[in-house]
Amino acid sequence: MKVVEFVKFDEKFLELSWIWLNDLEIKVLTNTPDFTQIDQRRWFESLDSKKDYEIWGVTVSGIPIGVCGLKNIKNSEAEYWGYIGDKLYWRKGIGEIMMKHIITICKKRELSVLKLFVLENNIAAINLYSKTGFQKQLAVNGLLEMIKIL
Ligand SMILES: CC(C)(COP(=O)(O)OP(=O)(O)OC[C@H]1O[C@@H](n2cnc3c(N)ncnc32)[C@H](O)[C@@H]1OP(=O)(O)O)[C@@H](O)C(=O)NCCC(=O)NCCS
């Protein structure tokens, strides 16, 4: 059985996320803007000081495959984001495991609302979020807000 783990987002994940987020398909699906390696390094070095942000590397049987996290953690709300960078691991139930793990963390922290933004044409992701209990809210400029009451 493959074991999915949520681990520290370290230099190894930093290097891989550079590759993953520069893959055109993933860049588009995750709505990632252009960025340089200097931007990325600056962002990485700011992580420890960010109080409203958390990030985890995702491994399957020890192999790094993706990244997920929470941002804009404020009062009783947070915003989920995540992607599987290694396409060999798409459609194997891991996205669902990632989401369920994050929901469990949010519930333990007594957050009451989890939201996310997804491109309106990212059907795979929208299906995953609907399956895990998110409701569609307004779409603005092609970006759909989805919300789950915890
Ligand atoms: C979107 C993503 C997180 C889904 O994770 P995944 O591990 O591939 O999905 P899972 O295997 O856990 O599937 C869970 C559900 O998602 C939906 N889903 C996943 N892939 C799908 C696809 N290609 N087409 C339609 N629905 C899909 C289905 O509802 C599925 O449930 P089912 O298996 O009972 O049909 C992953 O494919 C990914 O990271 N893609 C690239 C980046 C991205 O789009 N990130 C999200 C940005 S908001």
- Ligand 1 atom, smallest distance to 131 CA: 29
Segment 57-66, tens digit of pLDDT: 999 999 999 9
Alpha carbon distance 59, 115 (integer Å): 24
Backbone angles phi, psi at 62, to 5 degrees: 85, -10
CB 118 near ligand 1, within 6 Å: yes
- Ligand 1 atom, smallest distance to 119 CA: 48
CB 125 near ligand 1, within 6 Å: yes
CATH annotation of 4-111: 3.40.630.30
Q: Please state the domain extents for the chain.
A: 4-111
CB 90 near ligand 1, within 6 Å: yes
Start-to-end C-alpha separation, the chain: 29
Segment 14-44, tens digit of pLDDT: 999 999 999 999 999 999 999 999 999 999 9
Alpha carbon distance 97, 12 (integer Å): 22
CB 59 near ligand 1, within 6 Å: no
